[in-house]
Chain A
Amino acid sequence: MKHLLLFTTKEFLILWRDKGALVMLLLVPIVLIVIASFALSGVFGGGKMDIKLPVINYDKEGEISQEIIAILENHPNITLEKDISKDEAQAKVGEGKYPAALIIPENFSQKITFGEKTELKLLYDPNSNVEYPFVKGVIEGIIEKINSIRLAIQTALIEVNKVNSQLDPEKIVKEAHEITQNLAAEGGLKLTLFKAREETREADPFAQNVPGYAIMFMLFGILGGIEALLEEKETGIFKRILSLPIKKYSLLGGKLLSWFLIAILQMAIILTIAHFIFDLYLGKSILALILVVSTCSFASTSIGTLISAFVKSKKTGHTNVYIDYFGYVSFRWFLVASLD
């Protein structure tokens, strides 16, 4: 056990001093993840935002709806899609083609004018991390404006009616009372939000890339470990150590333990950086995450052990077959990770 730790600390010391290996283990994967994610991402790639927003207007003649549409049309980052049915819009938002769709209900303008209860509906894609929140912000701004204008108009209306009270005092008082009550009850015009699909996080290129790349580079890390082991065999270090009074399992165990720990650390560092800098979604349970990371590390360490057991020397023909195979597996993983 003492020897096991001795070997493991030695491995870590050597790795720490091998800046090339550290770069390969940590920096390269992070840089690659960032590049790939930005390249694959329409959201980050475009520079200026140009959001296409379908509007389904059931309040065709309404002045207030016309006004809302005009405001949205004049917004520099929003292009409206008006010739679209509700079903089509819903389907496309559900597929992630649009970040959201605005639905204006029937008699919207009239209800607003008379202080009746009504609402704007925003159908949205929960996986749209940038565009949907932006659209929502713009529409909420409009609603706030409408609410304050409505309050002003209705207050004015009450005042005007007070002046003309000789017409029908009872009716006017009753009307004013209703309007105030409605306003108090409803708190004004509301925006109601509808999810067009369940949140999956699937669309986030970081969430898509990070784990794949992390595992790929973990395999590369193990590959580096095997190479180091072969080098030890060739440089006679292996022979020297085996000529010392030591159990063989301490030597191999030390290797395995350090590979395992290095793999876990590598994953942890990559995921942490991805989480805090690129807001990678890591799931809800830390425990589950630890379990997944450990299992992956353990699995790749096992693969490494299996291979190193077959490999006799770097120079023999067989070795290269295994190394190539391992490289091939990692490469396949890379492809799967980047195409998925």
Chain B
Amino acid sequence: MASLIKVKNLTKKFGDLVAVNNISFEIQEKEIFGLLGPNGAGKTTIINMLSCYLEPTSGEAWIADKSIIKEPQEVKKIIGLVPQEIALYPNLTAIEHLKFFGRIHNIPSKKLEEKCKELLNLVRLYERRNDLVKIYSGGMKRRLNIACGLLNDPKFLMMDEPTLGVDPQSRELIFENIFKIRERGVAILYTTHYLEEAERLCDRINIIDEGKSLALGSLDELLTRLEAKIEIKPTKAGRLEQLFIQLTGKRLRD
């Protein structure tokens, strides 16, 4: 089966800093692909390039055979983005957000009504749809942030640390939603620095640091392949955590 997303030798430099260094991977339909790395690893920069916000310094990527460099307008129609930041207007309500972004997607108004209702129910904000975002809790904002990325039924959904600062209840709901979205055949790129999230959610994981890919594969693959080389101790810390620390080192990232 041909991959839905193909990323080839993607590189982004900011002056002397190589934020993304020659990264390649592919993602299939219905796959949850994790980008796991400490702060500053280059996760957001990869997403910025795949969502046509930043131009790569070199390399290429295709989403459903559309080039992010040559056909950005086509790419934008089939992707969904959940930015790392809470990309919402404090003075608009949930329903106003969905309608605003939906109209940018040129969704006909009748269909947009239905879509809004469906998404509000999905992220459990239907009851609060007419409240201003500024009075929402962190978890509610994160959930709306996600709903806004789903309006156009994307084939490829990018979620940049979507659980940052939420309580366990909202996190559970978000995970539940991600599995539901995957069932529709969507390919999902999920970035996180929480190991247990990657462990629970992702079919395959790409561990990156300082812009470089350190290891790529399913959790089991990663562990068996690397356990041979790296000594994994039977301690309290999870196996992935030991692996992660082994790969990325103990230097603090601020």
Contacts and interface: CB of A to CB of B under 8 A. Distances in A.
Contacts of A13: 91-92, 96
Interface stretch (B75-83, B116-124, B167-175, B232-240): B75-83
Given A17-B91, A17-B132, A243 B53 contact: yes
Interface of B: 48, 51-53, 73, 76-77, 79, 81, 83-89, 91-92, 96, 100-101, 103-106, 132, 148-149
Contacts of B81: 239-240, 243
Interface SS of chain A: helix, strand, loop or mixed? helix
A14 B92 contact: yes
A339 interface: no
Closest 5 CB pairs of A and B: A236-B85, A236-B83, A236-B87, A17-B91, A243-B51
A244 B85 contact: no
Interface in A221-249: 234-237, 239-246
Contacts of A235: 85-88
B92 A245 contact: no
A14 B89 contact: yes
Contact of A240 (B83, B92, B132): B83
10 contacts: A10-B89, A14-B89, A239-B53, A240-B148, A241-B104, A243-B51, A243-B52, A243-B76, A244-B76, A245-B73
Nearest to A3: B104
B53 A18 contact: no
B83 A244 contact: no
A173 interface: no
Interface residues of A, number: 20
A6 interface: yes
B88 A239 contact: no
Highest count of chain B CB atoms <10 Å: which of A10, A18, A244: A244
Contacts of A2: 103
Contacts of A18: 91
A244 B92 contact: no
Given A6-B100, A244-B76, A245-B105, A239 B48 contact: yes
Nearest to B160: A236
Given A6-B103, A239-B51, A241-B104, 7 more contacts: A6-B100, A17-B91, A236-B83, A236-B86, A237-B89, A240-B87, A246-B104
Contacts of A240: 81, 83, 87, 101, 148-149
A243 B79 contact: yes
